[in-house]
Amino acid sequence: MRNAFAVLLLAALAFGLAVTPALAINQPPLNLGLTDILDGALPGPGTYLTEYIQPYSANKIKKVLGGGDLDAGVANTLAMTQFVHVYKNELLGGNLGVDLLIPVVTISADSPLSTNPGWFGDITVGPFIQWFDTKLFGMPYFQRLELDFSLPTGEYDKRYALNPGSNHWVIEPYYAFTLFMTPQLSTSWRIHYTYSTENDDVQPSPLNNFSTSVTPGQAFHFNYSLEYEFFKNFRGAVAGYYLKQITEDDTGNGNLSNSKEQVFAIGPAVSWAASPNFFLGLKSQWESSAENRPEGNRTTFRMTYKF
């Protein structure tokens, strides 16, 4: 039975089920592990440029639609450019800001999974409020509230199983914070809620109820880190992420049973403030407990410059 299920799944993917650079089945590209150490603690008003390089690889997709695993290697390398500007203007005691993310991605996979040769992903833009000087139980507490919109600008073709773009809009509020328990010991979290609109150009397959449209289920996910400053301006951390889809995917032929995605990841991370305006970060995180997603390793290099 398990082998029969794997054959059916391979056939469905070969027909072109649309998935994302994160290599999920239907969820759009998500911030899984891109941000963690001192995430809530921006240094102050100004303009920031961040470059991310994030390779990901996995050799199987786990527990697909409540069934067995699919032994198929999938991988991508994401290059993300982020522009952030924090204004001196204030609202509700915090500084106003705007965020822009521009992704490019290369995707590869084992046969018979087909990959779109395009590289341009979905642009994300959003306003936010950043608070620099709040306290929690008397401890320094930096926090940010942001509302992101991902636009369907990425390259997408339903003939391919793997696409850089998701072909639908995503609305994603998030709350990020950094709490300094001591000057050396801190913890940072970024908590997201993901709402996706309909992808109305899908290749019918057993993985979408043979429908031509799919709306990914709503999802909750967060990045976390527990950090310690071992040397001046150098922090190490235990960091990772968790994703839990809370509603089933919806298709033109009804809800898709057992389609909820989840994954947990953990690993080491380091961050170095090379100067007051230049920051470097490196982390590697290993996934577990995946459902309806690949389960692999995600490594991220991050470089930030404050103008």
SS3 assignment, position 6: helix
**Backbone dihedral region for residue 298 (phi beyond 0: left; psi -120 to 50: alpha; all else: beta):** beta
In the predicted structure, residue 206 carries a pLDDT above the cut 80? no
Q: Which residues contact 4 (CB under 8 A, 6 or more apart)?
A: none
Query: Residue 15 corresponds to which tokens in the numbers above?
Result: 């027909």
Average pLDDT, the chain: 90
* The pLDDT of residue 82 is above 50: yes
Burial class of 43 by CB neighbour count within 10 A (0 to 12, 13 to 18, 19+): middle
Distance CA 4, CA 153 (A): 37
Q: What is the pLDDT of residues 226-255, one digit of tens each?
A: 999 999 999 999 999 999 999 999 998 999
Which pLDDT score, from 0 to 100, does residue 153 have? Answer: 96
pLDDT number for residue 274: 96
**Separation CA 214–CA 251 (nearest Å):** 4
Coil, helix or strand at residue 30: coil
Pairing of strands 170-180, 139-150: antiparallel
* Cβ proximity of 166 and 199 under 8 Å: yes
pLDDT mean over 110-131 = 92
Query: Domains, the chain, ranges and CATH?
Result: 2-306 (2.40.160.40)
Contact between 67 and 60 (Cβ < 8 Å): no
Please compute the mean of the pLDDT values over residues 139-146 and round it to a whole number.
98
Q: Where are the alpha helices (DSSP H) in 118-163?
A: none
Q: Which positions ≥6 away from 171 have C-beta within 8 Å?
A: 147, 148, 149, 194, 195, 196, 197
Whether residue 264 is predicted with pLDDT greater than 60 in this model: the reply is yes
